[in-house]
């Protein structure tokens, strides 16, 4: 049984399970996926798929995104030499990452579509598109983009719509992302030097704009750069 099947079958528990262990079981699975990611198994995409399945089954709500992210990234950090982001290192970056996890939960909670089916279709389409030579987003970011698009739609996304959102940005979009990244780095330094509430708000606003444009929050601190180097190493080997 592959990881995809395991994630999809994780949602077989009864809807509305309010037992004390309902979130504990979910967080334990997220921690296991975090450790798998640290060991190079490329489980970040599977974590997103699992969150959607858990939300579809009624086990997760949007407000559980922080706990799910912390369980995943804490376990991941314990398995690697690089220090991973936990609240306090970079609130703007952490907020963006939690928001991504929340997108998968929101997808699973949609009443008009089966989010699990949307992601299963997307995984198959991404493989087809990539095999045809078209550049696509990383596995996790591609599915996150699908989550966002589906949550903004009243009907289930078509194959054409999925293909459009998982493809890498066109040159003009890349230019916008590059400008936002440069602004983020500059504002990060300004916020560190001044520490005003206004500069912190401005930093978060730029971070949100980068994510909205389809980009990634750039690593700024030493800890973030170490993590980025570790992830880049795994990406070159097709593990994330």
Domains: count for the chain: 1
- CA-to-CA distance for 208 and 180, rounded, in angstroms? 10
Which helix (DSSP H) or strand (DSSP E) does residue 23 occupy?
helix 22-38
- CA-to-CA distance for 147 and 107, rounded, in angstroms? 6
What would you report as the CA-atom Rg of the chain, rounded to the nearest whole angstrom? 18
CB 36 within 8 A of CB 61: no
The answer to whether position 191 is within a domain reads no
Confidence at residue 221, expressed as pLDDT on a 0 to 100 scale: 80
Confidence at residue 220, expressed as pLDDT on a 0 to 100 scale: 85
The answer to whether position 194 is within a domain reads no
Query: Closest by alpha carbon to 221, among 199, 201, 179, 191?
Result: 191
Q: Could you please report the per-residue DSSP string of 47-110? A: HHHHHHHHHHTTS--GGGHHHHHHHHHHHHHHTSSSPPP-TTS-HHHHHHHHHHHHHHHHHHH-
Structure tokens at 181: 């990244």
Residues 6 or more apart whose Cβ sits within 8 Å of residue 182: none
The answer to whether position 55 is within a domain reads yes
The answer to whether position 189 is within a domain reads no
The answer to whether position 41 is within a domain reads yes
Name the DSSP letter for residue 18.
Answer: -
Name the DSSP letter for residue 11.
Answer: T
How far, in whole angstroms, is CA 80 from its chain's centroid? 19
- CA-to-CA distance for 33 and 4, rounded, in angstroms? 13
The answer to whether position 75 is within a domain reads yes
| Residue-number span of the structural domain to which 58 is assigned | 3-169+214-236
- At residue 21, the 3 state secondary structure works out as coil
The answer to whether position 90 is within a domain reads yes
The answer to whether position 197 is within a domain reads no
Q: What is the pLDDT along the chain (240 residues), one digit of tens a residue?
A: 343 433 343 333 444 444 446 688 999 999 999 888 888 788 999 999 999 999 999 999 999 999 999 899 887 766 653 444 443 446 677 788 899 999 999 999 999 999 999 999 999 999 999 998 888 999 999 999 999 999 999 999 999 999 999 998 766 667 888 889 999 989 998 988 898 988 989 999 998 888 888 788 888 887 777 766 666 655 555 544
CB 136 within 8 A of CB 169: no
Confidence at residue 55, expressed as pLDDT on a 0 to 100 scale: 96
Confidence at residue 224, expressed as pLDDT on a 0 to 100 scale: 74
């Amino acid at each position: 049984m592959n990881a995809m099947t395991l994630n999809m079958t994780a949602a077989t528990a009864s809807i509305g399970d309010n037992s004390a262990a309902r979130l504990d079981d979910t967080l334990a699975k997220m921690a296991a996926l975090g450790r798998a990611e640290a060991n190079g198994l490329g489980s970040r995409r599977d974590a997103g798929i699992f969150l959607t399945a858990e939300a579809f089954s009624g086990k997760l709500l949007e407000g559980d995104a922080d706990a799910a992210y912390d369980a995943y990234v804490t376990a991941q950090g314990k398995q690697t030499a690089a220090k991973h982001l936990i609240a306090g290192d970079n609130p703007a970056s952490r907020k963006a990452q939690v928001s991504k996890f929340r997108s998968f939960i929101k997808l699973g909670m949609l009443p008009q579509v089966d989010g699990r089916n949307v992601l299963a279709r997307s995984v198959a389409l991404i493989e087809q598109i990539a095999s045809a030579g078209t550049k696509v987003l990383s596995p996790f970011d591609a599915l996150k983009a699908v989550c966002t698009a589906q949550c903004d739609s009243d009907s289930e996304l078509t194959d054409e719509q999925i293909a459009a959102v998982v493809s890498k940005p066109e040159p003009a979009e890349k230019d916008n992302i590059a400008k936002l990244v440069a602004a983020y780095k500059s504002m990060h330094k300004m916020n560190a030097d001044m520490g005003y509430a206004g500069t912190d708000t401005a930093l978060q606003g730029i971070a949100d704009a980068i994510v909205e444009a389809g980009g990634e929050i750039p690593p700024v601190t030493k800890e973030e750069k170490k993590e980025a180097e570790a992830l880049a190493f795994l990406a070159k080997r097709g593990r994330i």
